[in-house]
Every structure is written in C-alpha cells, then in structure tokens.
C-alpha cells in the first residue's frame, strides 16, 4: 500500500469539477484508490465522483490518498499531481 498526505490548495476546494478530474484519473488505474478526510473520519473511493464530493474538502483541508494494487505508486502520484497543480483552477 502507498499512502501520501496532501493539503487542498485551490481556494474553491473539492467541488464537482475537481471531483470529476480525480475520478477520471483514478479510473485509469487498476488499484483500489481511497481518499481519506481524517477530520470527518471518512474514506471514499477515489473512482466515485459523488464519493469524492462527500469529503467536504475545502481550502486548506488535509487529505490522505492511499492506493493498493499493481499500479499503486503511479495511481497515488497521479492523484497527488492534480492537487499540486490546483486542478488548473488558480
């Protein structure tokens, strides 16, 4: 299992568009990918747009991305990259 923590840096947080980008990216991988909001004690399937939206992840919220499977490292890096580029919103 691969696990990385990231802080939401885009001002609008994780709304519909970033959630869709996360799900589209996650669905390119075979691994089981989860995003965890520890403050809410909530873990969701990153391949589900609605699941990602339920994280209620606003600006400056800390999330953990985990993946388990054959392409787990690449999967986590791809999801983290979306956060790092602020979903091309800023």
Query: Which residues have CB under 8 Å from 75's CB, separation 6+?
Result: 2, 26, 29, 31, 33, 67, 69
**Catalytic positions:** 15
| Predicted local distance difference test score (pLDDT) of residue 89 | 84
- Alpha-carbon distance 18 to 83, whole Å? 9
pLDDT value at position 52?
Answer: 98
Segment 8-63, tens digit of pLDDT: 999 999 999 999 999 999 999 999 999 999 999 999 999 999 999 999 999 999 99
Instruction: Give yes or no for residue 79 having a pLDDT over 90.
Output: yes
Q: Count of domains in the chain?
A: 1
**Residue 51 belongs to domain with CATH number:** 3.30.1340.10
pLDDT score of 90: 67
Is the CB of residue 53 less than 8 Å from the CB of residue 36? no
Full-model pTM: 0.96
Domain ranges, residue 32:
2-88
Both tokens of 55, joined, read 């994280």
């Amino acid at each position: 299992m691969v696990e990385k923590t990231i802080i939401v840096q885009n001002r609008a947080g994780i709304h519909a568009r970033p959630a869709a980008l996360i799900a589209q990216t996650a669905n390119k991988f075979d691994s089981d990918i989860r995003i965890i909001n520890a403050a809410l004690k909530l873990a969701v399937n990153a391949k589900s747009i609605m699941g990602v939206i339920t994280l209620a992840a606003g600006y400056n919220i800390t999330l953990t991305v985990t993946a388990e499977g054959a392409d787990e490292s690449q999967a986590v890096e791809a999801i983290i990259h979306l956060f790092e580029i602020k979903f091309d919103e800023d």
